[in-house]
Structure 1
Amino acid sequence: MPCTPETTIFSKGTRTTKEVAYVTAGRLIQQYQQFCLSKGIDFIRIQSVRPHDDTTLFCSAGMQQYKPLFSDPSHSGTVANSQACLRMGDLDEIGDGTHLLHFTMLGLFSFREMTVGNAIDFSLEFLGTLGLVPDHVTIHPDRLVEWTPLYGARVPIVPDPECMWSDGSISGYCTEFYKDGVEIGNIVNPLGSCIDVGFGVERLDMIVNGTPQDDALGTLCETVMTIVESGYRPGNKEQGYVLRKLLRRIHKMGGTLDHPFFKEEVERQKRLRAKYLRLRDRHSDMSPDWWFDTHGIDLSDIRESMEE
């Protein structure tokens, strides 16, 4: 099964669903950019998933590059962006219609300048330009009394003790926006003095334009190409290891990818499997670390492939 999405027919030609999604998502980003610029807010667009610090292998959130500014009490200002992100934590949930590995976040970051009320007004106004009104929003119970009036009865409010966000070093209470049962965005109040607004482009595209999400195989292929286009190659460590892991999973699922890295990884796995079968009886008591460090063989992958 190739990583080729189904075809959708349009009056001006034939486009794959992925090509359609690229166009409609691009329009959403452009619309958000124009909205921010109309408010006098500088906007930058980042399409690489390279991390902005060494806390993650890939950029996992639009706020990552701004952490020093959040933490600097002398800095004030507001900026907006669109940031390509990659989170491997959802690997086992992809294909369910809402979870992705690679996605784009629309962000607004204010450092001791905008208030939570300002951010709520900004967010609801932007959603309004898309013809969206949230079905409801959630607020942490500890902020319910303070933040509920900021919505001014414009949208139903549901208390949610899970409305906390943290990247491990910076945290804050948050309020989340829901449409058709899907979280489409949130506002975090980092350190109690800053603002971090985020909207997922792909989820907005799904709600606004009816663009379907990729199946699991399509998601894997898109993620692989995003990693490659961000400048990474397959390897045994860090980002390279993640790339190899995803290539192996595509192959295991019966997919294929028209890229040399995929073909090289398939051949590499065949060689490693043959090598393991040749050596396993002589080294049956050796640890997985020994196999990996000495021969580059990941026992979990080899044994998994032998069970297929």
Structure 2
Amino acid sequence: MNTEEITATFTEYFQERGHRRITGSTLLPPPGDPVLFTTSGMHPLTPYLEGRPHPLGRRVVNVQRCLRTTDLDEVGDPTHLTVFEMLGTWSLGDYEGPLSLEWGYGLLTEGFGIDPGLLHATVFGGDEHTGPDTSSLEVWQRLGVPVERTVEDNWWSNGPTGPCGPDSEIFLWTGSTPPRSTPTRDDRWVEVWNHVMMRHRRLPDGSLVPLPQRNVDTGLGLERLASLLQGRTSVFECDVFAPWRLLVPALWRLDEPSLRLVCDHLRSAVVVIGDGVRPANTDRGYVLRRLVRRVLTVLWRGDPSRSLVDLPEELVEHTLHHFRLSTGPDEVRGVLLDEERRFVRLLERGRRVLARPRFQRPLDEEDLRYLHDTHGLPRDLVTILRPATGPADGSPRR
């Protein structure tokens, strides 16, 4: 199955079980949400999880694009992306966790044809605030799926306060041997689907109070599932990255980790720009700026003459179309190239500052603070300019 077929299979399965499909929102969370970007499908639905009636009823399903800045340093491994799509289902005060898990098992094994013997589950084992999730444990035992109990790994929250609850995660074995060990002990078990029994609200003092209704919130990463169903070893080899893996290596010779980072960050930048964000020194704009400048840093490390002017328009168009964005490719390319020019000017100024006698020795924390506060040179940029390799070896093409 390609990603479109996976999405159709997922949504149709739950529509047959009374779920109404809702349109996914942009990467920008609703007003009042403290996060910079939508990190999960539940963000746009928070008011309904807290009791407001949803206009389409108590069972909904959708596909939501998400961005997680916490995963930036994980990008390059087989499973993490900065921008990704999340397949989600919700019971808004309707059915509870056991039925959700049974349906999830049915879709994975029957709808997607996954061998039940390759599945493993984890459940919440209980802590000083809440008892163990025995109902989920009983479901997995009845279905014959091995199950592991954890504490921190199986408690989902949207932050230090707010809606939260125990979750049960479903893992798929990706090793070349028969399944062994457990998800917490062997990283060949890859998480594919999380079912959250969202029943509580955590208060600022750390205590828990019941939500007005007992909800179920599930999330399944589309690209991760696609890579597993397509027999690929990483999310960067699933079908949505096919144009990137075809065109980028022909344009810029990169090792595999660098190729993954460049493809991920450029693709993510296109989506962020398409959702209306522009580079800035704070908040969402800084995340976009960081994505673009990390790409340029990697490209210039191998060849200072490389430029985003060479980015194929086909890749920009493909990404905008896939994420259903109306922003034109010329506008996106204009933002990228303008940010490249700004970065070139900052590098030139940074070199002049760092050439001063004061900085011809190892830099300490006081130096780094001074460079940031006085000259606007963040730590990551200083580390680019100081090594013997990288953009400091030459001036990138304007």
TM-score by length of 1: 0.82
Matched AA of 1:56: V
Say which SS state the counterpart of residue 170 (structure 1) adopts. strand
Superposed CA RMSD in Å reads 2.8
Q: Is the 8 A contact 1:136 1:178 kept in 2?
A: yes
CA distance in 1 between counterparts of 2:286 and 2:169 reads 34
Q: Give the drift of 1:292.
A: 5.7
Give the equivalent residue in structure 2 for 1:154. Answer: 144
Whether the 8 Å contact between 1:175 and 1:187 is mirrored in structure 2 is: yes
Amino acid at match of 2:172: K
Partner of 2:271: 226
SS at match of 2:291: helix
Q: List runs of 5+ in structure 2 lacking aligned partners.
A: 127-131, 174-188, 201-213, 237-259, 301-306, 312-332, 360-365, 391-398
When residues 65 and 73 of structure 1 are mapped into structure 2, their CA distance, relative to the original with a 3 A threshold, is closer
Q: Structure 1 residues 279, 203: closer, same or farther in 2, change over 3 A?
A: closer
- Does residue 121 (structure 1) correspond to residue 102 (structure 2)? The answer is yes
Q: State the Cα distance separating 1:297 from its structure 2 match.
A: 4.1
Match of 1:50 among 28, 43, 48: 28
Give the aligned partner of residue 182 of structure 1: 190
The aligned counterpart of 2:11 is 33
Task: State the shift of 1:78 in Å.
Answer: 1.8
Name the structure 2 match of 1:9. Answer: none
Paired residue type of 1:210: G
Structure 1 window deviating more from structure 2 (33-42 vs 56-65): it is 33-42
Three-state SS of the structure 1 residue aligned to 2:235 is coil
SS in 2 for 1:46: coil
SS in 2 for 1:178: strand
Number of aligned residue pairs: 286
Do the aligned partners of 1:51 and 1:57 also contact (CA within 8 Å) in 2? yes
Structure 2 SS opposite 1:100: coil
Which shows bigger deviation, 134-143 or 252-261?
A: 252-261
- Structure 1 residues 73 and 59, CA gap change in structure 2 (3 angstroms): closer
Deviation at 1:283, TM superposition (A): 9.9
Which stretch shifts more, 70-79 or 101-110? 70-79
Residue 277 of structure 1 deviates from its aligned partner by 4.3
With over 3 angstroms needed to count, the CA separation of the structure-2 counterparts of 1:148 and 1:49, relative to structure 1, is same
The Cα of 1:270 is off from its aligned counterpart by: 2.3
Query: Which residue in the other structure is 2:221 paired with?
Result: 200
Equivalent residue, structure 1, for 2:384: 304
- 1:203 CA displacement: 1.3
**Does structure 1 residue 164 correspond to structure 2 residue 164?**
no
Distance, in Å, in 2 between the alignment partners of 1:182 and 1:156 is 14
In structure 2, relative to structure 1, the CA distance for the partners of 1:66 and 1:283 (3 Å cut) is: farther
Bigger relative CO (Cα 8 Å, ≥ 6 apart): 1
CA contact (8 A) 1:140 1:173 kept: yes
Return closer, same or farther for 1:92/1:113 CA change in 2, 3 Å cut-off.
same
> What's the TM-score once normalised by structure 2's chain length?
0.65
How far 1:220 moved relative to its partner?
A: 1.4
Counterparts of 1:237-276 in structure 2, within 5 Å, are 237-254=282-299, 257=308, 258=311, 259-276=333-350
Does residue 24 of structure 1 match 2:24? no
User: Per-residue CA shift, 1:114-141, capped at 9, x if unaligned?
Assistant: 1111111221122120112352111112
Equivalent position of 2:261 in the other structure: 216
**Using a 3 Å threshold, how does the CA distance of structure 1 residues 159 and 85 change in structure 2: closer, same or farther?**
same
Identify the residue that residue 72 of structure 2 maps to in structure 1: 91
Distance 2:335 2:299 in 1: 16
Q: Is 1:72 matched up with 2:51?
A: yes
Counterpart of 1:301 in structure 2: which amino acid? Answer: L
Kindly provide the amino acid, as one letter, of the partner of residue 34 in structure 1: E
